[in-house]
Amino acid sequence: MMFARVAIIGLGLEGGSIGLAVRAYLPGTTTTGYDINPATRERAAERGLVDRVCPTAIEAVREADLVIFCVPPGAMGQAAAEIAAVLPPDCLVSDVGSSKQAIARALSEALPNHTVIPAHPVAGTENSGPDAGFAHLFRNRWCIVTPPQHTNLLKLTELVAFWEALGANVEIMDAEHHDLVLAVTSHLPHLIAYTIVGTASDLEDVTQSEVIKYSAGGFRDFTRIAASDPTMWRDVFLSNRDAVLTMLQRFTEDLTALQRSIRVGDGDALFSHFARTRAIRRSIIEEGQDDSRPDFGRGDHEKS
């Protein structure tokens, strides 16, 4: 057993799923949890997301071997500072945020005397809150662990084993490289989705009812992404701004090139581009990171 007592701070989709996954796959481990929202704490207790929902973060972490912060990136530093005085000295601190450099700094500054090893399970849905979690969220999904230099190798091994026990495939990666990769695979797509949905709702010559009524598959997928938690994504873009702006500039250049191809009627260029991107989609399915069924298999996930 790598950790006997795991404390989860933040009981939404990620935190709730970790609690349920620990119960399902690590039955010898006990879990405590805390969320700043009283209604979330109440619902988390009703669903049994953790063994014990605590009224304060201090109580949740007091005897923990592992603390996982599942709060928005902008709240990481404050959440860590609140429990610094009572956190056991040998306790490992980690998180699930998707911008690793900023979060690593925030956690390390708040907890300078503890081992901090950031992690990012690349798994989720557009849903949020304590009702969104499910035990197999991390099965066959990647969890990227970004240890700082001179990390305690024993604790790193334990954290990797923890995520593997929950079903994740673990990759060790430099935090700066992680932020660049996620900027293009996750952050930029969300930014584009928010923009397209916002643009559609702002069009003066198309009513909102028409946008909803005649939504084709592509727009529906954008609205699914754009339904993600606004607080979290605000913090993601601000905490990973450099990498996001770099990828956004590259995307803008590529979009301008496509614009020109359409304007001049260059069908060969358009076909070549679309064929290349279609191959990327097939590779994602072959890697097991999505499903080729019409609903992407997401309905089955929700039922199980």
Indicate the SS3 state at residue 290.
coil
The Cα–Cα gap between 274 and 240 comes to 29
> Which range (155-164, 201-210, 290-299) has the least confidence?
290-299
pLDDT in tens, 167-200: 999 999 999 999 999 898 888 888 888 888 887 7
Q: How far apart are CA 111 and CA 118, in angstroms?
A: 13
118: Cβ contacts below 8 Å, ≥ 6 apart: 94, 95, 97, 100, 103, 104, 107, 145, 146, 147, 175
Residue 169: phi, psi to the nearest 5?
-95, 125
- Domain 5-173 class? alpha beta
Domain with CATH 1.10.3660.10 in the chain: 177-303
In this prediction, residue 302 carries a pLDDT of: 41
Instruction: Name the segment(s) of the chain with CATH classification 3.40.50.720.
Output: 5-173
* Contact indicator for 57, 32 with CB cutoff of 8 Å: no
Q: Which tokens belong to 14?
A: 């990620």
Dihedral sign (CA 9, 14, 20, 24): negative
Q: Tell me: pLDDT of 6 over 70.
A: yes
Q: For residue 300, what pLDDT is reported?
A: 45
Contact 131, 124 (CB under 8 A): no
Check if CATH label 1.10.3660.10 holds for domain 177-303: yes
CA nearest 69: which of 92, 48, 49? 92
Q: What is the pLDDT of residues 61-112, one digit of tens each?
A: 999 999 999 999 999 999 999 999 999 999 999 999 989 999 999 999 999 9
pLDDT at 289: 54
Q: Over the stretch 15-70, which tens digit does the pLDDT of each residue have?
A: 999 999 999 999 999 999 999 999 999 999 999 999 999 999 999 999 999 999 99
Q: What does the pLDDT look like over 119-131, one tens digit per residue?
A: 999 987 778 899 9
